[in-house]
Structure 1
Amino acid sequence: MAICRAAAACKNQTLYQRVAELSGKPTDKFVLPVPAFNVINGGSHAGNGLPVQEFMILPVGASSFREAIQIGAEVYHNLKKVIQEKYGQDATNVGDEGGFAPNVLESDEALQVLMTAIEKSGHAAKVKLGTDVAASEFYDAKEKKYDLYWKDKDKKGQKLMSTAELAEYFKGWTEKYPMVSIEDPFDQDDWDGYKPFTAAIGDKVQVVGDDLLVTNPKRIGKAVEDGD
């Protein structure tokens, strides 16, 4: 990166132009990525019962980055109103990453609340959903089960799923909701779960391995070899 910066300075280029030139991409035009807004927090990032760590919105239909930011803000403010109407004025506390953290136990309930907010914002045609499951947080390696009630002391152990069952559970989300990205759907060492899951839905949903890969060259190489 230091060499790229130096070369860019010598050629009177911005860093992105230098990197684009090295990769053989045109430097006269570029496209900013679609932002993902983390609007509902759960998992270890919030003090509620929600097992999944993050639910996000992606304004894929925005015509510009500016419009995407506007859509994200409008959905977020509508989400606050929906949560207040459904759970009360005191339910709009936020998690570690700034998303709302209403005390819901079921992920489907959180998704339905989010869909209501998207509809009320008037941007339903332009917004898709994403999630960071962070499944390593609720995986029991000894039992090889995922506990979706891991945060509820009274119900803990009452909703256990195998890797295959959890995969079907997430496939259901892609059928019921406009879900386009699922991050860390399985434990970081549950390699057997990723390949069939990606093969089943990877043509329409981005399956992200963050905890799975952790920018480790060896783990990335294994994922490539295994077809994950």
Structure 2
Amino acid sequence: MAPKVTSVRAWECLDSRGHPTIGCEVALEPGASATALVPTGASTGQYEVADLRDGGDRYAGLGVRSAVAMIEREIAGRIVGWPADEVDELLDGPSNVTLGVSTAVAKAAAAAAGVPLWAHLAGDGPVSLPCPMVNIFSGGRHAEGGGTIQDYLAVPTGATSFAEAMEHVWRVRRRAAELVAAEHGTLWSRLVADEGGLALPGGDDERPLAMLAQAIAETGLPVGIAIDVAATQVPDPDALVDTLARWCATYPIVSVEDPLGDSDWDGWTKVTARLSPRQVIGDDLFATDADRVRTGAQHGAANAVLVKPNQVGTLSGAHQALTAARAVDYRTVVSARSGDTEDDAIADLAVGWNAGQIKVGSVHRSERLAKYNRLLRLEALDGIRYAVWPG
């Protein structure tokens, strides 16, 4: 029998942008407890579960005291006394209300069993350390004032261990920062966007791509490029498709995320075929929803799924989306959010679910490094194998 929930507490804390988010603590019998901190996204699609915000003057309307009250008054009354493995079935409501509870319960259940979170999630299934997709340059909603494209990432396609993968992308980012300093001055090489990436002035979408390709070439390392278009946030995404195809023919691009909006199934079918055999990831398109993943597969839309637990609101919901992706032979990428926290649970999710890939930001800023450091520890001390690209 799974241990039962004995208490649920919540509080308002701050994410990496300094905006309010939820902290949650859950206790189980006979005494195991755990905390979880909820991430928040800036680039959000219409199909993901929304957060609950207070409105009004506090924190420009971004306060979450109402969400805290909902957890302690409604959710706690609903789940106290229930077995930990049944809690997710009882959760519904705003994402920041449900995800903190869901994650804290999973962590507490792992603690009660005396195993790490990844092992609790994996059960008897296989596990692996994910190949990282690491942010080098940012634009869009992650670096306001920059270009249209949201992220340009380095993918260590030739690394044979997680430690080697991190060294490869670190060297690429270091060289990219040197190129930025030479072109725009040292200040621009030290300013960072929401996920720790570099940003360039001027709004030119191709310049960061060209500079990243140059940095990779000058390091001589086997590293590819991934692009997150975040087309839902782009006024005319259709106009970008020809540009993306040209870029894919010119630069070492191995993955493209959200090249079109989140409702254009026919357009996604065409762009997936056009960009093949590259990885084409659906983020806003799927919103970590298993039914939308299955619909996408029927259309031949995308060939990989970004898995963001806060898009769906529970760990079990996120795992269902990942399982649906695996059933149709789509790749899976577990992802953090642009407004994240020092909570490193997402690293254990990627390992325990054997996702193959992870996307948590740059090798800069402690809320990003917390996840990478967790994975480095799991490789060094627990001996978990590395998935290698393509995951």
Query: Residue 194 of structure 1: CA displacement?
Result: 0.6
| Alignment equivalent of 2:132, drawn from 35, 49, 53 | 35
- Distance in 2 between residues matched to 1:39 and 1:8, nearest whole Å: 35
Which residue number corresponds to residue 158 of structure 2? Answer: 61
CA contact (8 A) 1:83 1:91 kept: yes
C-alpha distance after superposition, 1:127-184 (max 9, x if no partner): 0000111111123xxxxx33xxxxxxxxxxxxxxxx2x43222111111111111111
Which residue number corresponds to residue 147 of structure 2? Answer: 50
Q: Identify if the C-alpha distance between structure 1 residues 53 and 7 changes in structure 2 by more than 3 Å, giving closer, same or farther.
A: closer
TM-score relative to the length of structure 1: 0.76
Query: What are the within-5 Å matches in structure 2 for residues 208-227 of structure 1?
Result: 208-227=281-300
Structure 2 spans left out of the alignment, 5+ residues: 3-83, 86-105, 302-391
Q: Identify if the C-alpha distance between structure 1 residues 19 and 47 changes in structure 2 by more than 3 Å, giving closer, same or farther.
A: closer
Which residue number corresponds to residue 97 of structure 1? Answer: 195
C-alpha distance after superposition, 1:85-108 (max 9, x if no partner): 011222222111110011142222
- Distance in 1 between residues matched to 2:175 and 2:156, nearest whole Å: 15
Query: What are the within-5 Å matches in structure 2 for residues 59-208 of structure 1?
Result: 59-92=156-189, 93-123=191-221, 126-139=222-235, 145-146=236-237, 163=238, 165-202=239-276, 204-208=277-281
Query: Residue 199 of structure 1: CA displacement?
Result: 1.8
Partner SS, residue 259 of structure 2: coil
- Distance in 2 between residues matched to 1:21 and 1:59, nearest whole Å: 29
Count of aligned pairs: 197
Query: Residue 190 of structure 1: CA displacement?
Result: 2.1
Query: Residue 197 of structure 1: CA displacement?
Result: 1.2
- Distance in 2 between residues matched to 1:37 and 1:133, nearest whole Å: 15
TM-score relative to the length of structure 2: 0.46
Partner SS, residue 77 of structure 1: helix
RMSD: 2.5
1:57 is matched by which residue type in structure 2?
A: A
- Distance in 2 between residues matched to 1:45 and 1:20, nearest whole Å: 33
- Distance in 1 between residues matched to 2:246 and 2:185, nearest whole Å: 29
Percent identical pairs in the alignment equals 34
Partner SS, residue 132 of structure 2: coil
Which residue number corresponds to residue 149 of structure 1? Answer: none
1:103 is matched by which residue type in structure 2?
A: P
Partner SS, residue 213 of structure 1: coil
2:256 is matched by which residue type in structure 1?
A: I
CA contact (8 A) 1:104 1:110 kept: no
- Distance in 1 between residues matched to 2:267 and 2:185, nearest whole Å: 39
Structure 1 spans left out of the alignment, 5+ residues: 140-144, 147-162
